[in-house]
Amino acid sequence: MSELSFKDKVVVITGAGGGLGKHYSLEYAKRGAKVVVNDLGGSLGGQGGDAKAADIVVNEIRAAGGIAVADYNNVLDGAKIIETAVKNFGTVHIVINNAGILRDASFKKITDKEFQLVLDVHLNGAFQVTKAAWPYFRKQEYGRIINTSSPAGLYGNFGQSNYSSAKSALIGFAETLAKEGEKYNIKANVIAPLAKSRMTETILPPPVLEKLSPQKVAPLVLYLTHDSNEVSGQIFEVAAGFYAQIRWERSGGVLFRPDETFTAEAVAKRFDEILNFDDSAKPELLKNQHPFMLNSYGELISAA
Ligand code: NAD
């Protein structure tokens, strides 16, 4: 198979001054892309800022003969980040929503500020950047988006009600973008990675971290954003070189008669059946939300 080239593609990678984003940047640049390395260079908790983080990555790319420019804006100023791409390279083809912070706290202790801040950076940041890129994507009928979720967004995690909420929201966001973007050749996918970075360094034991280099995540991100990939609106779990797709599964379910027998007691009696996945389906569209209830958008079929 020939090399997957990104020649002349303009890629915006948020939070690319370290961790996963840095490796994506290096890899895209190696393959000919023009890279906007965005990072405000703050702490893991989102405090402060330092232009050095993005500069170091840009210098490394340029020293290797690649093309890159640094951007120090907060993802909440997404329009400014896209402006950097347009001013320097004329447009944007690929957006990797990767910037993130942590403010872990048990739900009992979490403050309004800790909850909001994490939602802002991950979800609203991705919204602002993608929203600013969208008109370019539509006009040129080409766009690729990666939203970075997390296993915590898929399954929840102790002490991360803020983070897991934001990370699940990024899934619904990408699923909708994939549908709205389809006719403009805009594809949006989601990754739920696990990798060694300052986010995991203090949580995971060294022997596990050793296996989790960020370089092992980059190949999926590159493939999903390459011209040759047709897949959109999908979720991928990726860690230590293991790549797999995640999807929704609906149990065979129970259809209750809408009469006086349809009570909480009836639900209790058949709850095991609701939980039974023997005859499951894997829905992808709102319109096939439930075969018994909807035959097209909003057209209810009598369940009696
Ligand atoms: P990281 O802390 O090394 O990288 C995140 C980067 O985002 C930092 O360089 C930081 O300065 C930047 N950033 C933070 N807030 C920003 C803002 N408002 N505007 C611009 N830049 C900002 O951590 P990482 O592990 O490389 O994380 C990358 C992404 O992957 C994050 O979204 C994270 O939640 C996600 N993720 C990582 C793991 C993992 O195991 N490392 C697991 C699941 C999800």
pLDDT (tens digit, 9 = 90+) per residue, 197-248?
Answer: 999 998 899 999 999 999 999 999 999 999 999 999 999 999 999 999 999 9
For residue 302, name the pLDDT band (cuts at 50, 70, 90). Answer: very low
Model pLDDT for residues 83-126, shown as the tens digit of each residue = 999 999 999 999 999 999 999 999 999 999 999 999 999 999 99
pTM greater than 0.90 (yes/no): yes
Distances (CA, A) of 89 to 35, 75, 99, 162, 232: 9, 19, 21, 36, 26
Q: Is 166 helix (H, G, I), strand (E, B) or coil?
A: helix
98: CA distance to ligand 1 center in Å? 6
- For residue 51, name the pLDDT band (cuts at 50, 70, 90): confident
**Separation of alpha carbons 186 and 178, rounded Å:** 7
Cα radius of gyration (the chain): 21
State if residue 46 touches ligand 1 by the CB under 6 angstroms criterion: yes
Residue 102: burial class (beta carbons within 10 Å; 0-12, 13-18, 19+) = buried
Q: How far is CA 78 from CA 58, 71, 73, 191, in A?
A: 19, 11, 8, 20
How many helices (H) and strands (E) are present in the chain, helices listed first?
Answer: 11, 8
What are the residue numbers of the active site? Answer: 163, 167
Return the amino acid letter for 244: A
| Rounded Cα distance, 100 and 292, in Å | 41
Cβ-in-10-Å burial (0-12, 13-18, 19+) of 163 comes to buried
pLDDT the model gives residue 301: 46
Q: Does the beta carbon of 14 sit less than 6 angstroms from any atom of ligand 1?
A: yes
Query: What are the structure tokens assigned to 223, written together?
Result: 């493939």
Examine the predicted complex and report whether its ipTM is higher than 0.95.
Answer: yes
Mean pLDDT of all residues belonging to the chain: 93
Cα(218) to centroid of ligand 1, in Å?
Answer: 14
Q: In the structure encoding, which two tokens stand for residue 209, read together?
A: 């971290």
Nearest CA owner, ligand 1 atom 44:
150
Q: Tens digits of per-residue pLDDT, 246-279?
A: 999 999 999 999 899 999 999 999 999 999 999 9
- Inter-residue contact 255 to 273 (CB < 8 Å): no
pLDDT at position 159 over 60: yes
pLDDT(174) > 90: yes
Indicate the SS3 state at residue 148. strand
Going by DSSP bridges, is the β-strand pair 235-239/186-194 parallel, antiparallel, or unpaired? parallel
Beta strand residue intervals within the chain, DSSP E: 10-13, 34-38, 67-71, 94-97, 143-148, 186-194, 235-239, 242-246
Q: Measure the CA–CA gap between 8 and 33, rounded to whole angstroms.
A: 5
Nearest partner of 273 among 289, 255, 292, 258, judged by Cα: 255
For the chain, the first-to-last Cα distance in angstroms comes to 55
Length in residues, the chain: 304
- Flag whether pLDDT at 178 surpasses 70: yes
* Ligand 1 near 164 CB (within 6 A): no
Report yes or no: 21 and 39 within 8 Å, Cβ to Cβ: yes
pLDDT bin (cut points 50, 70, 90) of residue 303 is very low
Pocket test for ligand 1, best of 13, 39, 103, 196 (most atoms within 8 A of CB): 39
Q: How confident is the model at residue 295 (pLDDT cuts 50, 70, 90)?
A: very low
Cβ proximity of 276 and 231 under 8 Å: no
